[in-house]
Each structure stands twice: as C-alpha cells, then as structure tokens.
C-alpha cells in the first residue's frame, strides 16, 4: 500500500483534488501510477473524494511550477482557469513560491498569475489566460444548422448565445451531444451564454471530460471573447456562473485575456493506493 496526501480546493465550486508532487517520495509514486485511473477514482462523488478532476502540482524547469490536469473521466486537459488560481494560492500559502507574482507551466503554455494577498492569505488571483483564437462556425444537429463562436483559450470551446440559460436537464442532454459531435475532432467544451447587458453575462458550461460544472475559467473567458466579437459587450465583463462570479477583461484584440477570481481550500486528506489497478 502507498499513501498520497491531497488538498481539496475549488474555484467557485469547480473543485479538484490537488497533489503536491514537489516531494521526491510523492513524485516516485506518481511516476508509477496510472494517472487517468487515479483521476477517475478520486473524482467519483460516491466512492472517491469527489471532484471535477485531479491536478498535479509539479516542479518546472521553465516556471515556478507545472500543472497537469486530469478530468473526471481520466482525460488530460490543456488548461483550467479555476484550477490554476488554486495552484497559485497553494504555492504562496505553503511557502513554495512566496511572491505575489508567479508563473505556472501548463500544456497550453506558461501562464502568469498576480495574487491579491491580505494577512498572508490569497483572496483573489488574476491570471493572464493568453491569446484567444476566435472564429464563427456552424454545427448541424439533426439536420438543423446552429451558428456558434469557436474559441480556443488553450483548450477548445463552442459558445452558443441563448435567450435563456438551460436547465440542468437541458444541459445534460445538449452538452454531451455537442461536446462529442464529430464536428469537433478532439471534443469541445460547451458554453450557453445569455447577455444581461454590455457588462454582464450569464454562463452555463458543459466541460469536456467532466460534464456540468459550477464554474469554468476558460469557459468564462471564451464567452466574453465571443460576446465582444459579436458586439454584445464591452471589454470588461462580469460573468455570472452557478458557483459565483468571475471578472474577465480583454483590452484589445490580439492581446491576452485576463481572468480574476477566488480560490478556496476545502480540506486535506490521504489517498491509499492499492497495488493494482492504479499502478503499472
């Protein structure tokens, strides 16, 4: 039996199990572990810790730390805006990177974080989410064409503007149908967006590999980028998600999108790994 310590954290209810892989002993266990299987195990809300996925916080040769993200279904994600804020909070408060600005390596590239700290506690984190790629697109479902905005924030998003926010039942029907449609070679995240006014959006997200989540940082950014491109909003927008609000700013085209939001620790614990099937 091998034991891994973990930290359960969330950004607006988008929750992950984080494992600090800086200790050599932990790294050795991780190298021998089937990580997709571990992600599926810990994410299960009935038999596991319960989360939207698993995040590894690793040393980096190019940044202050490196982040690997595994969705609840075991697939690996390129980037997660809520998770990266939690990584910044953990690194600062644990003393591993005790500075208000840091750089985190992801599969989508290196992202810079600016931390708002009060009494040594990280209250808000602003993330440079990188340059968006956006273009209009059309998806055909059951013979009917639907226009949407295709936005890449280091990971793919399909943004649909709606007159109303879908119910949970509607989202669980439409979300996977779109996310796994053959139109998207590697699948996609799906955003349903309602425009309140030029400074506010309501957003529901079906996350690729995790399903309906209470918040999605890259999804909020994608929604704002699409809204700006379509002329719906100004360039500084509050995005209302089921788990809370994110502040998104895109000052000018061809520049980075910035996301600001909170990060919270829920609890800590230990995961006992059996010899099989999680190790190989």
Query: Exactly one of 21, 86, 97, 216 is catalytic; which is it?
Result: 216
User: Does the annotation mark 86 as catalytic?
Assistant: no
Q: What angle do CA 262, 266, 268 make, to 5 degrees?
A: 130
> What are 140's two structure tokens?
């055909």
Beta strands in 78-224 (DSSP E): 101-106, 109-118, 121-128, 133-141, 144-152, 156-161, 189-197, 200-207, 211-213
Query: Exactly one of 80, 97, 192, 221 is catalytic; which is it?
Result: 80
Element (H, E) at 219: helix 217-229
Report, in this order, helix, strand and coil percent for the chain, each rounded to 5: 20, 45, 35
* Residue 109 CA, distance from chain mean position: 14
d(CA 254, CA 271): 44
HEC string for 221-247: HHHHHHHHHCCCCCCEEEEEECCEEEE
User: Does the annotation mark 216 as catalytic?
Assistant: yes
Task: Specify whether the CB–CB gap between 11 and 261 falls below 8 A.
Answer: yes
Does residue 279 sit in helix, strand or coil? strand
> What are 145's two structure tokens?
């064409």
Q: Catalytic site residues?
A: 80, 216
């Amino acid at each position: 039996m091998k034991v891994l310590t973990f930290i359960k954290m969330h950004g607006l209810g988008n929750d992950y199990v984080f494992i600090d892989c800086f200790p050599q002993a932990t790294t050795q266990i991780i190298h021998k572990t089937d990580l997709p299987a571990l992600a599926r195990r810990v994410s299960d809300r009935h038999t596991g810790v319960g989360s939207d996925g698993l995040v590894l916080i690793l040393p980096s040769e190019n940044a202050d730390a490196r982040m690997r993200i595994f969705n609840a279904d075991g697939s690996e994600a390129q980037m997660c805006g809520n998770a990266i804020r939690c990584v910044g909070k953990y690194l600062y408060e644990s003393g591993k990177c005790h500075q208000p600005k840091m750089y985190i390596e992801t599969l989508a590239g290196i992202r810079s974080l600016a931390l708002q700290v009060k009494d040594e506690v990280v209250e808000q984190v602003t993330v440079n989410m990188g340059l968006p790629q956006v273009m209009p697109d059309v998806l055909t479902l059951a013979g009917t064409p639907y226009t949407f905005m295709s936005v890449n924030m280091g990971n793919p998003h399909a943004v649909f503007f709606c007159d109303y926010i879908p119910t949970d039942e509607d989202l669980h029907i439409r979300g996977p149908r779109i996310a796994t449609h053959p139109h998207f070679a590697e699948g996609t995240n799906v955003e349903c967006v309602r425009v309140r006014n030029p400074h506010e959006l309501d957003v529901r997200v079906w996350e690729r590999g995790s399903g309906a989540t209470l918040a999605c940082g890259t999804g909020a950014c994608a929604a704002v980028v699409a809204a700006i491109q379509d002329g719906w909003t100004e360039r500084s927008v509050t995005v209302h998600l089921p788990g809370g609000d994110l502040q998104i700013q895109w000052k000018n085209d061809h520049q980075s999108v910035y996301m600001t939001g909170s990060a919270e620790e829920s609890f800590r614990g230990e995961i006992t790994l059996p010899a099989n099937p999680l190790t190989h």
